[in-house]
Amino acid sequence: MIYKDYANLPALVPHITFIYYLTIISLEKVNDLKLIELKEVSKSFGKNSILGDVNLIIEEGDILGIIGRSGSGKTTLLNLVAGFLEPSEGEVLHHFKAAHGPESLHQNLHKIKDLIGYAPQHNSFYPKLTVLENLLHFGQLYKLPKETILNNIKGLLEATDLLSHQNKLAEHLSGGMQKRLDIACSLVHKPKILVLDEPTADLDPMLQKEIMNFLIQVNKQGVTLVIASHHLALLERACNKIAIVHIGRVHSHGHIDEIRKSYSKDNFTLSLSPGDNKERLISILKTLPIDRIIDKDHLLVVHPKNITKTVTGLLTAIQEENLYLHDLDIRHPSLDEIFEIITSREK
């Protein structure tokens, strides 16, 4: 793979982004076991149309990221996926019970509640109960054998690193721990699918990362995740599938690499600092297979004929001549960029 060739680049180009390193892992987990399917789904509240013509498939093992601006309809979509809302039009089907075939999720929600976990945006547990009490409370309400619940709780406490805090009141936990407890409460009955609404909202970057790592671990244990968030970078890192919601429409959805490919750029950019030898870099580039170079003062946009050869040649020359380059951006477009593109189109 092309990106693996740049494994030693950080030393030379400190700001090169390696987003794909992680996303590649989840790209491997593709299967076709449908769990939830949205067909021509529309949702409106009164006269306000919130979502329209949504077609979406969530498969087992997916980490589906739903991204969109505030008020775009992503929470509505999430609630439709969770069966919490009934679509105004179309249908949301679940495939949890293969023997029965697809069934309306909302209408049969009572039968499959134990297969779905939901973590709303704001923590949803009892602050005046301890960590253990909260987990026991929600676990026992799923009517599982006590031994199973205790095993689940033990595993969750270890996974969430809350074992040593199990007797603390939930309100006394830190923000990150509270969020982990909230997710643990959603997982205590071992659901097949976990729906999370803005799991990283109001958390600092470290905690956001921590939560995402935890979710990835959860997914590895076989839990399908549907995550709505506007922290695109985090989703990009964790999800294998993305649905981009904007003004009540799902504009793109599917495997993240496919989406990225469809929005991939045919150029790379060189960011230059005042001390960089701009002229020398341009002359080196001109020796390489390129179509054109656009000089934007501190930014050179290079349209190569063969991006691999051009970048390899450029980096080799830089190394040989011991030149300094502030930044080399050779990525596919990030989710952020794709999102920008989509939202700017709609404008």
Partner 1 sequence: MKSIWLLIKKNLRLLVRSKTSALVIFFAPLLIMLLLGLSYDTSSSYGLNIGVYAPAFSEDVESLITSLQEQEFKIVKYETTVDDCVEDIKAGYIHTCLSVPESLQVEDNQQKEVTFYVDPSKINLVWMIQENLGNKFNLKSQEISRGLTSGILTSVADATTQLTEKNTELNGVKEKSSAASASALSVSQQLGALDLNLPASTYDPQALTTIKSSLSLEVENSLGEVDDAREAVEAANITNDAQILSSLNDIETKLKKVDALLSGAAVSTANSTNTGSNSTASESLSSILTLLEQDLTATQNKLTAASQAVTSSSSSLSSASQAMQESVGALDNVQQGLGQIKTTLESQKVTDANVISSPLITRIEPVAPESTYLNYLFPALLVLVVMFSSLLLGTTLVMMEKNSPAFFRNYFLPLRKGTFVISTFFTTLLITLVQVVIILGVSMVFLQESIFYMLPVAGVLLLSSSVFSFIGMGIGYAFKSEETGTLASISTGSLLLFVSGVVLPIESISPLVRKITALNPFVISESVIREVFLFHAGISSVWTEVASLVGYALALFAVILIVEYLVHKHFISGFMKSRHLKHRQQEKRDKNNV
> Nearer Cβ to partner 1, position 137 or 278?
137
Tell the smallest beta-carbon distance from residue 221 to partner 1 (Å): 20
Cα(170)–Cα(189) distance, integer angstroms: 19
Query: Contact with partner 1 (CB under 8 A): which of 48, 164, 167, 322?
Result: 48
| Binding characters for partner 1, 234-273, by CB under 8 A (x = yes) | ----------------------------------------
Tell how many helices (H) and how many strands (E) occur in the chain: 12, 14
Angle at the Cα of 85 (from 335 to 98), degrees rounded to 5? 85
Dig out the tokens for 227 from the structure. Answer: 């995550």
DSSP-derived secondary structure letter, 125: S
> Nearer Cβ to partner 1, position 70 or 322?
70
> Nearer Cβ to partner 1, position 117 or 304?
117
The DSSP-derived string for 62-118 is -EEEEEE-TTSSHHHHHHHHTTSS--SEEEEEE-S-GGG-SEETTTTHHHHGGGEEE
Rounded (10°) CA dihedral 193, 202, 263, 27 = -40
Query: Contact with partner 1 (CB under 8 A): which of 34, 84, 133, 209?
Result: 84
Stretch that binds partner 1, among 80-88, 149-157, 218-226, 281-289 (CB under 8 A): 80-88
Stretch that binds partner 1, among 106-114, 145-153, 225-233, 300-308 (CB under 8 A): 106-114
Dig out the tokens for 136 from the structure. Answer: 């026991």
Query: Contact with partner 1 (CB under 8 A): which of 18, 21, 45, 324?
Result: 45
Tell the smallest beta-carbon distance from residue 53 to partner 1 (Å): 18
Beta partners for 43?
A: 51
Query: Contact with partner 1 (CB under 8 A): which of 41, 67, 132, 185?
Result: 185
186 binds partner 1 (CB under 8 A): yes
| Binding characters for partner 1, 109-148, by CB under 8 A (x = yes) | -x--xx-xxx-x-xxxxxx------x---x--xxx-----
The DSSP-derived string for 271-319 is E--TTS-HHHHHHHHHTSSEEEEEEETTEEEEEESSHHHHHHHHHHHHH
286 binds partner 1 (CB under 8 A): no
Tell the smallest beta-carbon distance from residue 153 to partner 1 (Å): 16
Longest Cα–Cα distance in the chain: 72
Question: In whole angstroms, what separates CA 24 from the centre of its chain?
Answer: 13
Which residues of this chain interact with partner 1, rule CB under 8 A?
45-46, 48, 50, 69-73, 75-76, 79, 82, 84-85, 110, 113-114, 116-118, 120, 122-127, 134, 138, 141-143, 185-186
